[in-house]
Amino acid sequence: MTISVLSVASEAYPLVKTGGLGDVVGALPAALMPHDVNVVTLVPGYPRVIAAVQGAAALHDWPDLVGAPARLLSGTIGGHKLLVLDAPGYFAREGGPYGDPSGRDWDDNWRRFAAFGRAAADLASGAVKGFRFDVLHAHDWQSGLAPAYLRFAPAGGRCARSVMTIHNIAFQGRFDASIFGSLALPDRAFAVDGVEYYGGVGYLKAGLEAADAITTVSPTYAAEILRPEFGMGLEGLIRARRERVSGIVNGIDPAVWNPAADAALPERYDAGDLALRTINKRALEKAFALEPGDGPLFCVVSRLTWQKGMDVLADTLDALVAGGGRLALLGSGDAWLEHAFQEAAARHPGRIGVRIGYDEALSHLMQGGADAILIPSRFEPCGLTQLYGLAYGCVPVVARTGGLADTVIHANDAALDAGVATGIQFDAVTHESLAQAIALALRLFATPERWSSIQRAGMAADFSWATSGRRYADLYRELLSA
Ligand SMILES: Nc1ncnc2c1ncn2[C@@H]1O[C@H](COP(=O)(O)OP(=O)(O)O[C@H]2O[C@H](CO)[C@@H](O)[C@H](O)[C@H]2O)[C@@H](O)[C@H]1O
């Protein structure tokens, strides 16, 4: 039997992406199709999304969706069906998906994403004519109210099963209790087994409480979030529902991330002709005004935040350069970190190059031209940049946490001798351990056969969606047969 799934998310590549959520949501429809699962994606009608579905007829009207009118449009994304919540009062704004051009969160995010959750629940409960779904799959806090509406106030007759996926538990969508009255949920929903969270309203919490199943994006992270150090206040709830929690590691979309067919690379290559990467390395050096050379070139493609361990990296750059390394860094985030990296670049001209901003094409060139990618995250639910690194022969140097622990095989002597090492892992996210990991990378790089064996082992690893797609499909089937 074909299962129909409504995937509900605030980002979907290539229409809207601020991070890994967009990549995964964009890849899910193709990942699930071989398993007889038909995924329709619902996204908010940000200006770029509306432009992409221009001329589409409205399929449904909500005269008052949590306080403003909205309509439903349809289009396609990557050849798959897309639904768009067109609500100009909420989404027709300059700026990012969550904040104004200066990066400040919109004051009415609670209302914007309540409306989004309400619309998703209407679609999944049969309240919108012409639509039926077996499963509502909500991603992150922006979609967290959808399972709660489905449970406490389904508008249609039928009730789809629901899955809540945690991509980043650090963002929880916490709002003041005073908003509850505007959510049009019954009073009983403001309870510890409902949407109430530490005296306020918690959107991610609401989704985790109401969903029939909870997933996160790697097995190690699924175990980590049972503990206070990683659960960020939600560990009690997750422990209480642990029977329903599973970790399904992300895959990568081969249509977007494949060094043999990547239009963003000056030179395409595969594991059989790694020497061709040098052409990309030269282009990368040029893009970052680095001294050209065959010595080791590290890269970073990241949000510049505490989660990603970027403060520790900033402290380790002098050691990286002293050891003979160079660094190309692309990212944006906390102003003080942006400043720290720019200062490091000024201190080490030609050795450290920094680009503050977001640049999809450049991120491909970095994976295709740098020798190694540094990912010193304090927590990492899955991580995608190490997977891209593996696929591109850009050796990942990662903290041993979450999905990074699950996807990289550390280059200890045994793994090196067996030819299975795919990268370097280190334990505590401290200056010392990161410096040691970088030193190990520099030593391994100095023996070209060792280095290329690590590159090839990574490129041979399978991080396609085949296995993970099946696991989501199995989960949906399990829910429907329960
Ligand atoms: N400045 C820049 N320019 C261009 N591209 C940039 C960029 N900065 C980041 N990116 C891109 O954004 C994505 C980041 O994905 P990650 O999985 O590494 O982290 P993120 O924390 O966003 O995702 C969360 O969700 C994902 C998906 O589940 C989890 O893998 C992860 O652990 C979790 O924190 C990658 O595609 C990366 O290339």
Give residue 201's pLDDT: 98
Pocket flag, ligand 1, residue 20 (CB < 6 Å)? yes
The CA 302 to ligand 1 mean position distance, Å, reads: 7
On the question of pLDDT at 159 being above 90, the answer is no
Give residue 381's pLDDT: 98
Average pLDDT (235-243) is 98
**Phi–psi pair at 2, nearest 5 degrees:** -75, 135
Alpha-carbon distances of 466 from 41, 189, 475, rounded to whole Å: 20, 38, 15
The CA 473 to ligand 1 mean position distance, Å, reads: 24
Atom 38 in ligand 1: residue holding the nearest Cα: 385
Identify the structural domains of the chain with CATH numbers, from first to last. 3-251+465-481 (3.40.50.2000), 271-460 (3.40.50.2000)
Mutate which of 363, 377, 468 for ligand 1 pocket (most atoms within 8 A of beta carbon): 363
Pocket flag, ligand 1, residue 384 (CB < 6 Å)? yes
Of 49, 35, 26, whose CA–CA distance to 4 is shortest?
Answer: 35
What CA–CA distance (Å, rounded) separates 39 from 28? 7
Average pLDDT (157-175) is 94
Complex ipTM tops 0.90: yes
Q: Residues at the annotated binding site?
A: 17
Give residue 378's pLDDT: 97
Largest CA distance in the chain: 67
Helices 145-152 and 203-210 pack at an angle, to 10 degrees, of 50
The CA 307 to ligand 1 mean position distance, Å, reads: 12
Average pLDDT (115-144) is 97
Determine which of 39-48, 155-164, 268-277, 286-295 has the lowest per-residue pLDDT on average: 155-164
Give residue 61's pLDDT: 98
In tens, the pLDDT along 323-381 reads 999 999 999 999 999 999 999 999 999 999 999 999 999 999 999 999 999 999 999 99
In tens, the pLDDT along 168-215 reads 999 999 999 999 999 999 999 999 999 999 999 999 999 999 999 999
Give residue 243's pLDDT: 97
Average pLDDT (301-322) is 97
Give residue 459's pLDDT: 98
Give residue 157's pLDDT: 78
Atom 36 in ligand 1: residue holding the nearest Cα: 20
**Phi–psi pair at 268, nearest 5 degrees:** -95, 155
Joined together, the tokens standing for residue 344 give 């490091």
